[in-house]
Amino acid sequence: MSKFLSNLYSALEPYTPGEQPKDKAYIKLNTNESPFSPSPKVVEAISTEVINDLNLYPDPEVSLLRDALAENFGVNRENIFVGNGSDDVIAFSIMAFCGRGGSLACPDITYGFYPVYAELFGVNLTEVPLRDDFSVKVEDYKSFNCPVIIANPNAPTGLMLSLEEVETLINQNPNRLVIMDEAYMDFGKASAAELTKKYNNLMVIQTFSKSRSLAGLRVGFAVANAEIIRDLETMRFSFNPYNINSITMRAATAAIKDSAYYDNCINKIIDNREYSKAELTKMGFKVLNSKSNFIFASHPEYSAKALYEELKNRGILVRYFSKERIKDFVRITVGSKEQMQAVVNEIKDILKG
């Protein structure tokens, strides 16, 4: 680090994205991207007209996209916030509703950006241990008065709370904000977004990076009551009112309107997930009941780190985490059927020794 870095950040441990080596062609199953291209309507939306207007600032209200999202979720524009990826939305949320010196609670095994943001923004984070089966138990959060953020389905486990459990969490304390990070919920098909019409202490965050095949454009959003959205807009306009560019806004709007295309892609990924879970189980793996677009699996006789390294040597990237509680697991993104057949066959060959 340079001598100019503030002491506030000298011990900051940044988030580590999934590796993206360029030394050869890989089957890339380590960053939970979609194996499918965006909808053809997305390609059509990025027209010459939009490109010719790139000399102009984008709409700071992100009206086109917010209106499309509002229609999709049956709410008003005032109930929608849009960010530069769901990470952007999470960051603004922690800044707005925790603040420096405030507090936040989340599971101890979850999305790695929560503790990074907490440290960056000076927030006191309590990491609540998952149960031995890696499940989130909502009763473990009953005593917390600070905001609670839970990835649902959770990452990297893929396990999911039911809507009844989410509602129990909300009702534990009407004066506490519950943030449900639903980056993977389209693969679980039980979004809590509808509950935002009933409860004013719930915010639901989703992304276009996973099920909507737009990871490269960086767009995410939140659904909540109008007061919460106004607070987030205050943060955004105090930091970067042009956080969504014109191309992204048009492309994401086209994507949210083409539900038929994406529903088909989602169903294929779910089928491929169930196929892969079954095949790994036959090989002796412990496979958690993922409701996401990835699988979390552990073999009793083969090191997870060694499996990750051997698959990489064979041109397949999966994700390995060295954190103590999950160091025996690998996370495998669900790709196309052909990709999943390839990884299954390679793992069979590896286990043969």
**Percent of the chain beyond pLDDT 90?**
92
313 Cβ contact list (under 8 Å, min separation 6)? none
Q: Rounded to a whole number, what is the distance in angstroms from the first to the last CA of the chain?
A: 44
pLDDT digits (tens, 9 = 90+) for 233-271: 999 999 999 999 999 999 999 999 999 999 999 999 999
- Report the greatest alpha carbon distance in the chain: 60
Number of neighbours of residue 308 by Cβ within 10 angstroms:
21
Distance CA 70, CA 67 (A): 5
Band (pLDDT 50/70/90 cuts) for residue 18 is confident
Determine the average pLDDT of the residues in 213-231.
97
> Given pLDDT bands bounded at 50, 70 and 90, which one contains residue 23?
confident
Range(s) within the chain of domains with CATH label 3.90.1150.10: 16-37+260-352
pLDDT value of residue 22: 86
What is the rounded CA–CA span in Å between residue 113 and residue 119?
Answer: 10
Q: Is the pTM of this model over 0.85?
A: yes
- Chain segment 55-82, per-residue pLDDT in tens: 999 999 999 999 999 999 999 999 999 9
| Distance separating alpha carbons of residues 156 and 54, to the nearest angstrom | 38
Average pLDDT, stretch 132-150? 98
Domain at 16-37+260-352: CATH code: 3.90.1150.10
Mean pLDDT estimate for the chain: 96
Rounded-to-integer distance, Cα 1 and Cα 36, Å: 40
Report angle CA 321, 327, 329 to the nearest 5 degrees.
85
**CA–CA distance, 258 with 252 (Å, rounded to integer):** 10
- Listed as own residue / partner, the contacts of 241-246 with beta carbons closer than 8 Å and 24 or more positions apart are 241/60, 242/57, 242/58, 242/60, 243/82, 243/83, 243/84, 243/88, 244/58, 244/62, 244/65, 244/82, 244/83, 244/84, 244/219, 245/58, 246/50, 246/53, 246/54, 246/56, 246/58, 246/59
> What are 275-290's pLDDT values in tens digits?
999 999 999 999 999 9
Q: What sign does the dihedral 290-202-234-146 (CA atoms) show?
A: negative
Least confident of 14-18, 109-113, 191-195: 14-18
SS3 breakdown of the chain: % helix, strand, coil, rounded to 5? 45, 15, 45
Percentage of the chain exceeding pLDDT 70: 100
Question: Cβ(153)–Cβ(184) under 8 Å?
Answer: yes
Q: What confidence score (pLDDT) does residue 323 get?
A: 93
CATH architecture of 40-257: 3-Layer(aba) Sandwich (3.40)
Note the pLDDT of residue 42.
Answer: 96
Confidence of residue 8 (pLDDT cuts 50, 70, 90): confident
Distance CA 158, CA 185 (A): 10
Residue range 171-198, pLDDT digits in tens: 999 999 999 999 999 999 999 999 999 9
**Where do you find CATH 3.40.640.10 in the chain?**
40-257
In this predicted structure, the answer to whether residue 154 has a pLDDT above a threshold of 90 is yes
pLDDT at 256: 97
pLDDT digit string, tens, across residues 302-337? 999 999 999 999 999 999 999 999 999 999 999 999
